[in-house]
Each structure stands twice: as C-alpha cells, then as structure tokens.
Structure 1
Amino acid sequence: MAGKRPSDTPQQSREERLKAALKANLARRKAQSRARQAGQEDRAAGKAPGGQQEKD
C-alpha cells in the first residue's frame, strides 16, 4: 500500500488522529476564549460588538 509506513499500526494511527483532533479543539477553544475576553473588554470600554461606540 502506497503512503503507509510499515511501522504504523491501527492503534498508532488512531492515536495520531486523536492527538491532532485534541490539538485543533484546544486551539479553537483558546481562540473562542480570546474573542470572549476581547468582547468583555470592549463592553467595559463602552464599545459595541462591531467596535463602534455604544449610543446611550
């Protein structure tokens, strides 16, 4: 089979997929957390979600 390493077992490839999925999930969660934090800081400074000043 082309492209497969002889040392790859189904368990190893599964672990690699899980590791990659976990890494992607963590990166996505960090980005969401950063976006939420930035949104909270904007609201505290009186800015609307679009970055414009809120009108009273």
Structure 2
Amino acid sequence: MTRKAPPEKPSPDDREDRLKAALKANLARRKAQARARATPRDQGRDDGDKNKD
C-alpha cells in the first residue's frame, strides 16, 4: 500500500490573496446594497416643489 504525501500548507501569500479577494467581493456587495437602499428614497424627492403654490 502506498502512502499519500501529506497536503502542503498554503503559503502566507496564498492566504493574503484569498483575503484580498474576499475583502474586495465583500466591499462590492456592500456598495451594491447601499445603492439599492438609496434608490427608492431618492426617486420621490424631486416632486416637492410642485405642490408649493
């Protein structure tokens, strides 16, 4: 029976790259959520001047 070599530990650079990618994805997701939340509120604000007369 042959033995398998133990899996190599990922290098610190690999971990850093994964963390960078996760942070970038998280930031993009949060920005998209913020844009989605801001859009409905801002649509009705332009009509405020029409009813002043």
Normalised by the length of structure 1, the TM-score is: 0.60
Larger radius of gyration: 2
Secondary structure of 2:24's match? Answer: helix
RMSD value over aligned CA atoms?
2.2
Unaligned segments of structure 2, at least 5 residues? 1-6, 49-53
Normalised by the length of structure 2, the TM-score is: 0.63
Give the fraction of aligned pairs with identical amino acids, expressed as a percent. Answer: 12
Aligned residues: 43
Structure (1 or 2) with the greater helix fraction = 2
Using CA pairs under 8 Å that are at least 6 residues apart, name the structure with larger relative contact order, 1 or 2. 1
Unaligned segments of structure 1, at least 5 residues? 47-56
